[in-house]
Amino acid sequence: MNKNRTLLKLIAGLAAFAVLAGLLIIYVVRFMPVSKRMSAGDYFGSLEENEAAVIAEDHLAEGRAVRMEDRWFIDYALVQSELNPRFYWDESAGLMLFTTASEIYEIPADSSAYLTGEGTQDAGYTVIKTTENGKYVDLEFLREHSDFTYEIYEDPGRIVISRGSRTVTSAVVKKNSAVRYLGGIKSLVLTEAQKGSEVVILEQMEHWSQIRTADGYIGYIKNSSLTEISEQTRPSVYTGPEYTSLSMEDRVNLVWHQIDYAQMNDNFAEDTAQMSGVNVISPTWYFLSDNEGNIDSLADASYVKQAHEAGLQVWALISNFSADVSTAELLASRAARQKVQDYLIAQAEEIGFDGINIDFEGIPETAGYSYVQFMRELSILCRERGLYLSVDVPVPMDFSSHYDRKELGVVCDYVIMMGYDEHYAGSDIVGSVASMDFERNGIENMLSEVPGEKIVSAIPFYTRLWYTRTLEDGTVSVTSEALGMGSAWDVVEQNGVAAVWDDDAGQPYAEWTNAEGVFCQIWLEDDSTVAERASMVSEYDLGGIAAWVLGREKDYVWQVISENIR
């Protein structure tokens, strides 16, 4: 019996031990923090000899820095996308161009000498290096002409970029604390933040914060490890030439005047006879004609004279609507860009107009950098001569981000948002040319990129009549035609239908089936829609309004616009 009792006690003890051991294992698995470290190679990626990772403020950048000739150089793609897009490699000229508000630096590759408006300069070191892997910009030269500072660290090699003129949230570490790859005690350790060190908080959550350490590790730390959390505004560290802009005394009230052949200039007085309140007229005079920068012109000095006598400024428009022109190819050529720019400036002096309106549409994403570079270069010439520079851009969408509206808002005097073509010629989706939500959302998105006083909201003086046909093979065909405001209402009346209010579009709407069995739909403009569009200019305190196009309006629009943009 004693032996049995002893055996039972032993079994019970072993069972209790097993339970305790299991609980301990569960506790360790669940509650004990992991101490294993992530390797530098796993975090920063594989680094070749003389390479360094680049931490650009709040993230690990894709590009690298390379040490050559005992100096650090930054991959050009990284410079463009992260640090200073005003450095632009012009393949056609074999030059790095750095554009400021007042001049263009011409920097050849693999040379210490470069050209500015003051003549040839010598940096004393190679500014642009070329290798089989690409082009690189000297880090110190880049810093001297950009708004950032940097620190270099070793083992592993890394360069930490801190941008100036930025508000950041910082904190002090209360005690030595693990910085982990992800939030949570089971994530691998990246590094240890030392007591008293300062970190930048990138995102703060309930129990953890994503931070950047001074030496460039971006990871997560417990909130309980942080104290003295505060916002700090860093001052700019680069002071370059100021981007000055021209501004009309009153809000811009612009109308485009479509000129298709030279004799149409003679109709200025007749076309503008009923017009009132307008202070800028923009004739469509210039057209890119080839990829070399040649231009077809319909400009007329007597037109400018009449406009000035009527109290109007003239902003001459140039467009890229030609099947013979590859806008991407033209913009990629420095010689072609200069030819266009020089011609327009010479025309301003000869013809006497007051400003230039750039209407380059359908810019492919691959040409975005060249397009913005064209505008930077032209802005210098306009700034020197006191010419207004305006640019027409589509309503902001993700697919048109390469227009870089933020930079255009810096270099141009006015950025004109073309608040139409929500549904357009060739579209197989029927709808309004510009619903009110389309216009309002466009303005609000523009305001996140361009100062309000530089935004001009362009409204339509036209609409589209949509035709939906069912073909013999059962397929559906959608076509449309553009109609002016008056013509659109005439068509509705001729077909004996009444327009109803479309709440979704914020416009009158009509539909009918014609004698051929074609389903017709149209969204209309009237005094209420014009007033609503114009009132947004005042509501959002914008720089002005524009309208496409003179001759398609109803006479009442001028007074409605003037009253609502005050």
Q: What is the pLDDT of residues 132-147, one digit of tens each?
A: 999 999 999 999 999 9
- At 80, is the pLDDT very low, low, confident or very high (cuts 50, 70, 90)? very high
- At 19, is the pLDDT very low, low, confident or very high (cuts 50, 70, 90)? low
- At 28, is the pLDDT very low, low, confident or very high (cuts 50, 70, 90)? very low
- At 506, is the pLDDT very low, low, confident or very high (cuts 50, 70, 90)? very high
pLDDT tens per residue, range 372-407: 999 999 999 999 999 999 999 999 999 999 999 999
Please report the pLDDT score of residue 30 as a whole number: 57
Nearest to 199 by CA among 177, 169, 176: 169
- At 100, is the pLDDT very low, low, confident or very high (cuts 50, 70, 90)? very high
Task: Look up tokens 């003051």; give the residue.
Answer: 118
Helices (H), 148-273: 268-271
Q: Contact at 8 Å (CB) between 181 and 219?
A: yes
CA distance 553 to 566: 20
Average pLDDT over residues 513-518: 96
CA distance 525 to 509: 9
Please report the pLDDT score of residue 217 as a whole number: 98
Say whether pLDDT at 21 is over 90: no
Say whether pLDDT at 448 is over 80: yes
- DSSP for residue 403: G
Report the predicted TM-score, pTM, of the whole model to 2 decimal places: 0.93
Average pLDDT over residues 471-480: 95
Inter-CA distances, 245 with 101, 241, 242, 531, Å: 10, 12, 9, 29
Percentage with pLDDT > 90 across the chain: 93
CA distance 381 to 378: 5
> Going by DSSP bridges, is the β-strand pair 280-288/252-257 parallel, antiparallel, or unpaired?
parallel
Please report the pLDDT score of residue 240 as a whole number: 87
Both tokens of 257, joined, read 């005047």
Please report the pLDDT score of residue 16 as a whole number: 58
- At 15, is the pLDDT very low, low, confident or very high (cuts 50, 70, 90)? low
pLDDT tens per residue, range 279-312: 999 999 999 999 999 999 999 999 999 999 999 9
Q: What torsion, rounded to 10 degrees, do the Cα atoms 304, 450, 341, 373 define?
A: -170
The mean pLDDT of the chain is 95
Percentage with pLDDT > 70 across the chain: 95
Both tokens of 185, joined, read 């005690």
Say whether pLDDT at 474 is over 60: yes
Inter-CA distances, 159 with 113, 144, 145, 148, Å: 26, 16, 18, 12
pLDDT tens per residue, range 310-357: 999 999 999 999 999 999 999 999 999 999 999 999 999 999 999 999
Please report the pLDDT score of residue 166 as a whole number: 93
- At 23, is the pLDDT very low, low, confident or very high (cuts 50, 70, 90)? very low
CA distance 306 to 54: 58
Please report the pLDDT score of residue 34 as a whole number: 95
